[in-house]
């Protein structure tokens, strides 16, 4: 995405985050800045200059409450999207979308709602032992990849290129997708997630190959952080939290890796 376009995108995302934070604060929902958005708050006091999205995390109970009230409390300018509201949406986390805009990623199919978005990640209890964490991650990743194929996503695309090793690897999941319904995949995924006992460990619901597991206490003790001209919540122990995600988080990546990663192929601000 060209720098001039990104400079128009980021203020819209920030306004969306303001509204999400308002709804959370007015309704007793715990939330905090997450992943690159929190890194931006700590390292840049705003957006990472090349970032093209925003991330928020919520413990599971707060996420479920947000899912219930967001459609009404956010107002008509927004919609909330997850795999319960849209069966062709593939991810185990939700998105707040801005109606009347378009923000389509190359790897995703068009959905009924395709607008600018803020990702909302539920945090669930996970095991403390690394071996059990890996086992849990493998089970969820397997189901998630089948769901991606069922929803006709194309994770092997990198811009105009096709990563053939990844394309061939997904043939197994495409075959499996022929024999299961969308609803059965969601039920199986959530059954595994919700069966985990309460613990001192949280992990994000993203089903990435390397999902981060971190201390629950980091997410329970929050502080306020300036972000551009706003203030949002984030883990008070930002150093431990960000090191668990990124290692030496204050070091900027090489210039050839300073790029927005979502491969936006279709974009409309709704005013053109």
pTM of the complete model: 0.94
Query: pLDDT tens digits, residue range 88-128?
Result: 999 999 999 999 999 988 788 678 889 999 999 999 999 99
Tokens in use for 268? 């409309």
CA separation for the pair 187, 259 (Å, rounded):
36
Identify the CA nearest to 61 among candidates 31, 96, 82.
Answer: 31
Tens of pLDDT, residue by residue over 148-198, are: 999 999 999 887 789 999 999 999 999 999 999 999 999 999 999 999 999
pLDDT band of 22, cuts 50, 70, 90: very high
- What string of H, E and C letters represents the secondary structure of 86-117? CCCCCCCCEEEEECCCEEEECCCCCCCCCCCE
Q: What mean pLDDT, rounded, does the chain reach? A: 93
What residues make up the domain containing 150? 3-268
Strand-pair category, 117-125 with 55-59: parallel
- Count of structural domains, the chain: 1
CA-CA distance, 154 to 167, in Å (whole number)? 8
* pLDDT average, residue stretch 213-236: 96
> Confidence class of residue 26 from pLDDT cuts 50, 70 and 90?
very high
């Amino acid at each position: 995405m060209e720098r001039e376009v990104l400079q128009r995108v980021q203020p819209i995302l920030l306004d969306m985050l303001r509204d999400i934070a308002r709804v959370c604060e007015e309704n007793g929902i715990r939330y905090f800045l997450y992943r690159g958005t929190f890194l931006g708050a700590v390292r840049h006091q705003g957006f990472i200059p090349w970032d093209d999205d925003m991330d928020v995390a919520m413990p599971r109970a707060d996420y479920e409450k947000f899912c219930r009230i967001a459609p009404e409390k956010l107002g008509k300018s927004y919609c909330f999207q997850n795999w319960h509201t849209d069966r062709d949406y593939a991810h185990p986390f939700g998105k707040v979308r801005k109606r009347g805009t378009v923000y389509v990623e190359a790897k995703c199919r068009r959905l009924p709602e395709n607008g600018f978005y803020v990702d909302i990640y539920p945090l669930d209890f996970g095991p403390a032992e690394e071996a059990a964490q890996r086992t849990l991650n493998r089970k969820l990743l397997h189901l998630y990849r089948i769901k991606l194929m069922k929803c006709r996503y194309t994770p092997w695309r990198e811009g105009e290129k096709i990563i053939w090793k990844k394309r061939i690897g997904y043939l197994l999941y495409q075959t499996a997708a022929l024999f299961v319904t969308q609803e059965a995949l969601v039920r199986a995924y959530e059954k595994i997630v919700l069966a985990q006992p309460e613990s001192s460990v949280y992990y994000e619901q993203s089903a990435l190959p390397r999902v981060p597991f971190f201390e629950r206490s980091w997410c329970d003790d929050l502080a306020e952080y300036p972000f551009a001209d706003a203030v949002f919540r984030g883990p008070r122990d930002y150093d431990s939290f960000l090191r668990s995600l990124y290692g030496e988080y204050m070091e900027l990546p090489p210039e050839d890796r300073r790029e927005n990663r979502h491969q936006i192929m279709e974009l409309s601000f709704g005013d053109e």
